């Protein structure tokens, strides 16, 4: 999101007409609006009670490619009647933390539609450092990211015939093609016994596109003895191996299969193969959104910057990394999966000014290389009107790459270490490629 041209012109020509405004959306439905000076705008009246806009800490991933925790602070001066205090300490006190808040760069001479959002997030805490003063600490709205992925566990109300040992186990979601052909592994994707009367084993939450091979205790099963079945229970959609006979209570069932298609409702669609597309799909349907059945959710309703995702999709495709595959359990947190993905593909993650999650690549391999603007403050297309912090660590002198991941065994089969012998081992790193390249 770039700054509006008219606002940029005002910042340069008439800086005294510009101000910082603060908007606080209480969960009671009321939006409180404050600014550095009293101002009437198309968005309403802004009370001149912003004493200090504080600092806005905004950064891109550190060298470990972890999503940063951005923050901001705003201090408001209450009126003589202590109107704000009555709100904060009254019946709404329980709804302040987590309520939406924004800091904007505004101009008295321009419509509010042209103002620029410097920070969009939620209130993390608030305090009164002295009488009539209230300080609000803001952070990004990352509650969904830092919670467990919304993939259901196996429960008796969904699976009344599930063995007791299966209850409480997290379901998985499957992306890309998983094939053990040409390896010592017999079945790349584990399953869980969920129906001991119908002899059915859960492969994935949601509808996968194909079931290519089934192994019973490591032995390839004849295709005539099973089928891929889609079942909906209590509004949820599941993909199962449906056997024609009992495999025994202790049988270890593993499969080779291909994961989700672009349509979640069962209609034919292209398989989701690009790793960036898979990440976006996961964040949309199982982190920020709660998909259950039918068509997949779209990013339009969730805080994901689609433009930057498309940019990374093109980058991965151009670099020959256009296919990915992964089995993801619901016992993981979204932030952990995101950081793991970014670390493996060397893609930076960050929050945009407007509070959307974004990913970008600093691609130095291209001819006429120009770094992505978010990584170099001086050429950013967005205004750096507040402080931007950067994280640094020691240079890496050793990189250890583990690959050929077996979901069935829960381990990697090989390891490659690249090491600079002239260096010490103060900053060795290990990269576990759990998002492996899909089999063709």
Q: Minimum mean pLDDT among 24-38, 73-87, 211-225, 405-419: which range? A: 405-419
| Mean pLDDT of all residues belonging to the chain | 84
Asked whether the beta carbons of 327 and 183 are under 8 A apart, the reply is no
For the chain, what are the domain ranges?
Answer: 5-139, 145-333
Task: Provide the pLDDT confidence category of residue 169 given band limits of 50, 70 and 90.
Answer: very high
Strands 429-432 and 398-406: parallel
Q: State in words which class domain 5-139 has.
A: mainly beta
pTM metric for this prediction: 0.83
pLDDT, tens digit, 9 for 90 and up, residues 301-353: 899 999 999 999 999 998 888 899 999 988 899 999 999 999 999 899 999 99
Give the distance from CA 212 to its chain's centroid: 30
Helical (H) or strand (E) element with 9: helix 5-13
pLDDT, tens digit, 9 for 90 and up, residues 123-151: 999 989 899 999 999 999 999 999 999 99
Mean pLDDT of 179-194: 90
Virtual CA dihedral for 428, 434, 435, 438, nearest 10 degrees?
A: 120
What is the C-alpha to C-alpha distance for residues 277 and 260, in angstroms, rounded to an integer?
11
Mean pLDDT of 47-63: 82
Higher-pLDDT residue of 266 and 277 is: 277
Q: Minimum mean pLDDT among 43-57, 131-145, 259-273: which range? A: 43-57
> What is the pLDDT at residue 358?
93
Higher-pLDDT residue of 238 and 390 is: 238
Backbone angles phi, psi at 84, to 5 degrees: -65, -40
Higher-pLDDT residue of 405 and 300 is: 300
Q: Minimum mean pLDDT among 36-50, 240-254, 358-372, 385-399: which range? A: 385-399
Mean pLDDT of 401-425: 59
Please state, for a pLDDT cut of 90, what percent of the chain lies above it: 51
């Amino acid at each position: 999101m770039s700054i509006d041209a008219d606002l940029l012109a005002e910042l340069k020509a008439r800086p005294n007409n510009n101000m910082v405004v603060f908007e606080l959306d209480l969960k009671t439905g009321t939006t409180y609006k404050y600014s550095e000076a009293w101002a009437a705008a198309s968005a309403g009246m802004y009370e001149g009670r912003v004493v200090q806009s504080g600092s806005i800490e905004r950064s891109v991933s550190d060298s470990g490619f972890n999503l940063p925790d951005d923050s901001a602070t705003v201090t408001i001066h209450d009126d003589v009647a202590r109107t704000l205090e009555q709100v904060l300490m009254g019946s709404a006190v329980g709804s302040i933390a987590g309520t939406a808040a924004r800091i904007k760069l505004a101009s008295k001479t321009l419509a509010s539609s042209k103002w620029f959002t410097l920070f969009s997030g939620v209130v993390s805490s608030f305090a009164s450092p002295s009488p009539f003063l209230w300080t609000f600490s803001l952070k990004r709205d990352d509650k969904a990211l830092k919670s467990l992925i919304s993939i259901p566990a196996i429960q008796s109300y969904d699976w009344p015939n599930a063995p007791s040992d299966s209850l409480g186990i997290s379901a998985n979601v499957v992306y890309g093609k998983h094939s053990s052909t040409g390896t010592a592994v017999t079945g790349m994707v584990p399953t869980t016994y969920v129906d001991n009367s119908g002899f059915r084993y859960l492969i994935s939450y949601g509808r996968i596109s194909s079931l290519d091979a089934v192994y019973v205790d490591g032995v390839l099963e004849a295709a005539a003895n099973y089928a891929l079945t889609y079942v909906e229970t209590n509004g949820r959609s599941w993909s199962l191996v449906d056997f024609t006979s009992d495999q025994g209570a202790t049988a270890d069932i593993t499969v080779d299969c291909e994961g989700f298609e672009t349509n979640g409702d069962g209609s034919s669609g292209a398989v989701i193969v690009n790793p960036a597309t898979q990440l976006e799909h996961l964040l949309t349907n199982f982190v920020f959104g709660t998909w259950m059945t039918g068509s997949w959710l779209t990013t339009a309703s969730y805080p994901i910057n689609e433009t930057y995702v498309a940019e990374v999709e093109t980058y991965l495709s151009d670099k020959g990394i256009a296919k990915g595959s992964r089995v993801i359990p619901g016992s993981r947190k979204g932030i952990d999966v995101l950081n793991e993905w970014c670390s493996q593909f060397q893609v930076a993650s960050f929050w945009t000014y407007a509070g959307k999650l974004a990913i970008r690549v600093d691609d130095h391999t291209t001819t006429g290389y120009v770094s992505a603007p978010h990584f170099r403050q001086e050429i950013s297309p967005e205004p750096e009107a507040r402080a931007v912090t950067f994280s640094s660590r020691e240079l890496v002198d050793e990189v250890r790459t583990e690959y050929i991941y077996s979901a069935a065994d829960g381990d990697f089969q090989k390891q490659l270490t690249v090491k600079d012998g002239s260096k010490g081992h103060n900053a060795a790193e290990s990269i576990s490629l759990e998002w492996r390249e899909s089999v063709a």
